[in-house]
Amino acid sequence: MGPDAAQRVGKIYGSNHGQFAPVTSSLDSPIWVHSSAVHGQGVFATRHIAAGETVIEYVGEVARHPHDAANPDHTFYFHLDDGRVIDALAHGNASKWINHSCRPNCVPDEVQGRIFIQTRRPVFKGEELTFDYGLFSDEPMSEALKARYACRCGAKKCRGTMLASR
């Protein structure tokens, strides 16, 4: 396991359990990062957040080619409508720690090539923020692929994978 491998498993298997990190210097930031019961690290509400509030922008390096041979499975890529991706491994913020859920309380909103994570219902203080990754893969759908991106979100209608249904 080199440094790349450690980064690659960041969102999938988690790391830094129990570490706390402030999200921004803003006192009003509604979120913070700490270890999650869902998996690895997660992002949690530090106060009540109303429905429709933008909690954070999903930032990173915008690239044409989503495939990184050293990190084929990492889930920090966010696909934009124009085919480019935001790679949060590079210059990402706390948004990359938001876990997937099949029944999420947030939804990503694309505005002119930028992604904003918004709440889709009111979120209680202390609640973990999630959105549906709807992961995209070039590989044909298979049980092995689904298993590689297995979901354990615990939702009643969990589809068992973080891949988009298609």
Binding site for Zn ion (CB under 5 A): 102, 151, 153, 158
Instruction: Specify the residue, 22 or 134, whose C-beta has the smaller distance to Zn ion.
Output: 134
Nearer to Zn ion (CB atom), residue 23 or residue 105: 105
**Nearest distance from C-beta of residue 153 to Zn ion, angstroms:** 3
CB of 159 to Zn ion, least distance (A): 6
DSSP 76-126: -EEE-TTS-EEETTTT--GGGGPEE-SS-SEEEEEETTEEEEEESS-B-TT
67 vs 103, which CB is nearer to Zn ion? 103
- By C-alpha distance, which of 43, 36, 25, 61 is closest to 117? 43
Q: Which is nearer to Zn ion, 103 or 125 (CB)?
A: 103
Identify the three-state secondary structure at position 32.
Answer: strand
Residue keyed to tokens 């991106």: 149
CB of 4 to Zn ion, least distance (A): 27
Buried b (16+ CB within 10 A) or exposed e, 17-46: eeeeeebeeeeeebbbbbbbebbbbbbbbe
Residue 132, CA distances (Å) to 101, 121, 164 in order: 5, 14, 8
- Measured from the CB atom, the residue of 89 and 131 that comes closer to Zn ion is 131
CA distance 107 to 154: 18
Q: How far is the CB of 100 from Zn ion (least distance, A)?
A: 7
Considering the complex, what minimum distance in angstroms separates the CB of residue 151 from Zn ion?
Answer: 3
